[in-house]
Amino acid sequence: MAFGCLWLDDRPCLDPARPLAGHRNFRFNPPAYGPARFYEADPGRIVHEDDDLLVYHKEAGRPSQAVPYDAHNNVLAALGRLLAKRGGPARLWLPHRLDAETSGLLLLAKNQSAAGILGRSFQAGLVGKAYLALGLGPRPEREAFQVEAAIAKEGPRYVARAGGPGRAARTNFTVLAQRAFEAGGPEMNEVLFRAEPLTGRTHQIRLHLAWAGWPIRGDRFYGRAEEEAARPAPRLMLAATSLSLDHPGRPGRLEINLPAP
């Protein structure tokens, strides 16, 4: 129960003394690896911290927050434990998230006031975000383009549709570099993009690049399975490298950039 595998009415139940009376559903989600506690936050990966904000350079492969079978091995919980050890508040808020497979800048709030301000800034599109993505496809005909395709969930996966239905989504892409992909024939290239999502939908950059013809290398959901099998990527080749936002606790704009991984 302390590991977060047991849920009451779609919420984790961490208290073994909590009565089941009054709840409709009780669900057990066993993790494939058992209740193993193996992840802690690395203080060296904190790239910015003040009284209101914390920005963490998230590793690829780690969830931003708890998943239904594991409430321990995620960035939000691990940073809470780290702050508690330092004598600070263990409660953190997560106004935005990265996919587990995506690395890069993850923004967290250290108090409820900052969380509310940041949440409204994200909803209003006032937070600038940029990613690096390594796509696989033909040689691009344009140096920059925009993808506007709605995103919807179909079964366990998400899909992009030019005419909907779904939630509206837009992403700007700029070509930074490219090279031939030896395992994909003469017409296949690895293309490095700068991606700037103008909305914040689940799997947005991954879906929009795949829809445009350049699925991201290492993407097990939307990637090119045959080419990846011939020459597998070491990970999902997507990294959040830039954040720009109005600081919630003081005047001025906060700009944070990571070097290319």
Give the distance, in angstroms, between the CA of residue 146 and the centroid of all CA atoms in the same chain: 21
Which helix (H) or strand (E) element contains residue 5? none
Compute the distance between CA of residue 5 and CA of residue 156 in angstroms, rounded to an integer.
20
CB atoms within 10 A of CB 135: 29
Q: Which of 10, 99, 219, 246 is catalytic?
A: 99
**148: phi then psi, degrees, rounded to nearest 5:** -125, 105
CA distance 248 to 229: 46
Task: Please say whether the beta carbons of 60 and 102 come within 8 A.
Answer: yes
- 35-37-43 Cα angle (round to 5): 155
9 is catalytic: no
Round to whole Å and give the CA distance between 93 and 80.
10
Residues that are catalytic: 99
